[in-house]
Structure 1
Amino acid sequence: MTPARSGPPPAVTVVGIGADGWEGLPGPSRAALLEAEVLIGGARQLDLLPPECAGERITWPSPLRPAVPGLLAAHAGRRIAVLASGDPMFYGIGRALTEHLGGELRVLPHPSSVSHAAARLGWPLEDVEAVTLVGRPTARLAAALHDGRRLLVLSADATTPAEVAALLRDRGFGPSRMRVLEQLGGAKERTTGEATADDWAHPPGDPLNIVAVECRRAPDALRLGAVPGLPDEAYEHDGQLTKRHIRAATLGALAPAPGELLWDIGGGSGSIAVEWMRTHPSCRAVTVERVPVRAERIVRNADRLGVPGLRVVTGAAPAVLAELPPPDAVFIGGGLTAPGLLDACWEALPVGGRLVANTVTLESEALLADAYRRHGGELVRLAVAHAVPVGGFTGWRQAMPVTQWAVQKTVNPLPGADR
């Protein structure tokens, strides 16, 4: 049980407010706004307050996040109330304020637009995935598209529903049913634009809206699963692609976890970094690719497969590695023979970090064998064969075997490893 707060209340209070404005606020939220000496929020939110809220009104500048520290410092010592749409801790300003103020923040939430939408639609929230496109590219929606899933998409403005429909059509989900819910919780609430993405022809409506999507994949669309090992056809490539079965084994060895950062060295088509990021929305990745044409191709693959946040660095490793944030895991898919690369990646890893390297050449295999001797881990050879026609019969065609070294960095040397 959290102990009761002692002493004076925090100088900054975040108040969630809905489309119903002042009338929909409970007593504690109203009191905080009436007592505030400074009121900070968006113009639309500030306009919802009555004249009785006499504090100095300040509209958030753009970009918002970098302005937070300076704005709070400029009004230090005064009672500040910050307005937020719905629940401030659900894709709201509450996160930025908490990061800056820590526990010195009071949050008074309001039902989020997602809660309102789920209530109107009769969709249990635990069965729904919420995706925000506020300040984020529409392409990130692609990672959430799975047949039968229900999505609630937080719109950036009135043009978002049409952009969502276009993305659904492009990604093979044109049969998906869409509805737009506007001004949720307010007097002007309404549901508009009920149609499939294929048939979407509705003009822009209210900018304050949520798009409800019932995902339906077209019969001829490529099926993309929720685990690593997407079909090779999902990628644009020039042959530099970690193939499906090897890719699945590689991601298994890398073991991504929420919030972790991957370095993908020798990106090729970006498949390892893309599928690392698809495992969880908070997973991050940087891919390093020295060939500009391939780097551009990685950007396109990341966009199409729903992880437009993938950072692509065009340059040669290990030279560019010093510019990157510390990784939680490193994958080396190319360039192993570059002088100092393997050691630089190893030194960059924190204790508990993982390194996985794949190769098909004898020269690079010798480097991995030496690294295995020095650091331990697991050295395996992965071989895949595909059934192909042989005259009127069927036989096996062996792909080039892949040698893989996987290791986790530990505090103490492993028995038998020369460190």
Structure 2
Amino acid sequence: MTETPDPWLTIIGIGEDGPDGLSHAARQAMEAATFVAGSPRHLSLLPPLRAEHLSWPVPFDDGIAALLARRGRPTVMLASGDPFWFGAGASITRHLLPGEWTAYPAPSTFALAAARLGWPLQEVECHGLHAAPLQRLRPSLVPGRRILILLRDGRAVADLAAYLTDSGFGPSTLHVLEALGGPRERIRTVPANGIDFTDIAHPVAVGLGIAGEGRTLPRASGLADDWFDHDGQFTKRPARALTLSALAPRPGETLWDIGTGSGSIAIEWLLSHPATQALAFEADPARAARARGNAAALGADRLTVIEGEAPDILRDRTRPDALFIGGGLSEALLETLYALPGGPTRLIANAVTLESEALLARWHGRKGGDLLRIELAQAVPLGSRHGWRAAYPLVQWSVIL
């Protein structure tokens, strides 16, 4: 049986009212500590203490080693509001054993913002965008929806207003929420396309009520083709919808998109749930750059694009939860994928040439799975009338590795 260590680190959520809002237990931990770490703003809120102070550096990870060097001695780390909701708590505790730490959260900025605006928090999307691009909001820009956003500073509020206006959502309402819970608290409301002040104090959050005529990103698989920048060689909307259905993304899963092209399959995989991950492999540098751009524009910037030739780029890796082969299908690639450790893995491979179809037919005969032939046609003008223009048939193989 493993002995549980005694807690030496206390993580304390602190608001703009400083120690006035702390619980009795949090106060006791603060008084007993020999070392207190926090941002300069947090440390400035404290009364005189005997403890040594560490002003947390930027970037955040640079301070972790100094904190862990205190292991075994009474130590306090200060964090904003609730340390485990877009806070620093998990960034620290992943380095610790169970039992080495305890935490006392304060009301989060999200809770304070909802209380000020009268918004039901369970119906509001919450985003922490201190160090993340504003494009993360793209899937959430739907008229009538409400979003609470933590931002880095006042300049980021101006950038948010410009992004909304450029995206066709200029009439959206911005509730600019400064220093909530403290003596400097201030709330101002303005349309995104009419913001006319720059004296925004840190820390700042924004309550966003979406309005406008901007284009809304659907949540169903099979986005319209014009959402993606491409060179014509990519999985079109109907086939993409069928492919995503076969891939069946689930929260927490990882996809490899081999021969990603525009990145459309990997991007829609990521849009299915914020806990999904994806690696896109592409040999062509121009297409790799295009995939990165599409991912950033559609709020899926967590896509990792890796340039290189398959199957060489895949060796020495462990298979993910799902695999899609959209380009570069070959005997060597399939052999490499089957030889990799990992699994079970859902493999979906699409083919449009006779040679690729024959390859999938052989492997289907050897390994089983499902073989699907997809034939699509679209109505197009034919003189004064209309006729059907057939696309190349698509053969799709689905199998569990």
After TM superposition, the score normalised by the length of structure 2 is 0.94
Corresponding pairs, count: 398
Aligned residue runs from structure 1 range 26-175, under 5 A: 26-51=23-48, 53-65=49-61, 67-68=63-64, 70-104=65-99, 105-175=101-171
- The 1-side partners of 2:196 and 2:340 are apart by 52
Question: Is structure 2 residue 395 aligned with structure 1 residue 403?
Answer: yes
- The 1-side partners of 2:162 and 2:138 are apart by 11
- The 2-side partners of 1:200 and 1:113 are apart by 22
On the 8 A contact 1:386/1:396 being kept in 2, the answer is yes
- The 2-side partners of 1:261 and 1:84 are apart by 31
What are the Cα deviations for residues 164-220 of structure 1, in whole angstroms up to 9, with x where unaligned?
Answer: 11222233322322111111111111112x2222233331511211111112241xx
Aligned residue runs from structure 1 range 389-400, under 5 A: 389-400=381-392
Unaligned 5+ runs, structure 1? 1-5, 410-419
- The 1-side partners of 2:135 and 2:19 are apart by 36
Query: Closer, same or farther in 2 for the Cα pair 1:243/1:290, shift >3 Å?
Result: same
What are the Cα deviations for residues 313-365 of structure 1, in whole angstroms up to 9, with x where unaligned?
Answer: 1221111123766422111100003x511222233363332111111111111
- The 2-side partners of 1:303 and 1:345 are apart by 29
Paired residue for 2:216, among 202, 210, 223? 223
On the 8 A contact 2:179/2:186 being kept in 1, the answer is yes
Letter in structure 1 aligned against 2:98:
G
Question: Is structure 2 residue 285 aligned with structure 1 residue 289?
Answer: no
Query: Closer, same or farther in 2 for the Cα pair 1:261/1:7, shift >3 Å?
Result: closer
SS across alignment from 1:306: coil
After TM superposition, the score normalised by the length of structure 1 is 0.90
Query: Closer, same or farther in 2 for the Cα pair 1:387/1:35, shift >3 Å?
Result: same
- The 2-side partners of 1:163 and 1:404 are apart by 44
Paired residue for 1:256, among 217, 239, 249? 249
- The 2-side partners of 1:317 and 1:107 are apart by 47
Question: Is structure 2 residue 315 aligned with structure 1 residue 319?
Answer: no
Paired residue for 1:334, among 327, 330, 339? 327
On the 8 A contact 1:327/1:349 being kept in 2, the answer is no
Question: Is structure 2 residue 13 aligned with structure 1 residue 20?
Answer: no
Letter in structure 2 aligned against 1:126:
Q
Query: Closer, same or farther in 2 for the Cα pair 1:191/1:348, shift >3 Å?
Result: farther
On the 8 A contact 2:316/2:340 being kept in 1, the answer is no
On the 8 A contact 2:318/2:341 being kept in 1, the answer is no
Letter in structure 1 aligned against 2:380:
V
Query: Closer, same or farther in 2 for the Cα pair 1:56/1:191, shift >3 Å?
Result: same
Query: Closer, same or farther in 2 for the Cα pair 1:295/1:8, shift >3 Å?
Result: closer
- The 2-side partners of 1:7 and 1:294 are apart by 51
Query: Closer, same or farther in 2 for the Cα pair 1:7/1:389, shift >3 Å?
Result: closer
2:359 corresponding residue in structure 1: 367
Letter in structure 2 aligned against 1:216:
A
Query: Closer, same or farther in 2 for the Cα pair 1:314/1:204, shift >3 Å?
Result: farther
Paired residue for 2:229, among 236, 239, 247? 236
Deviant stretches of 4+, over 4 Å:
6-9, 323-326
- The 1-side partners of 2:231 and 2:370 are apart by 30
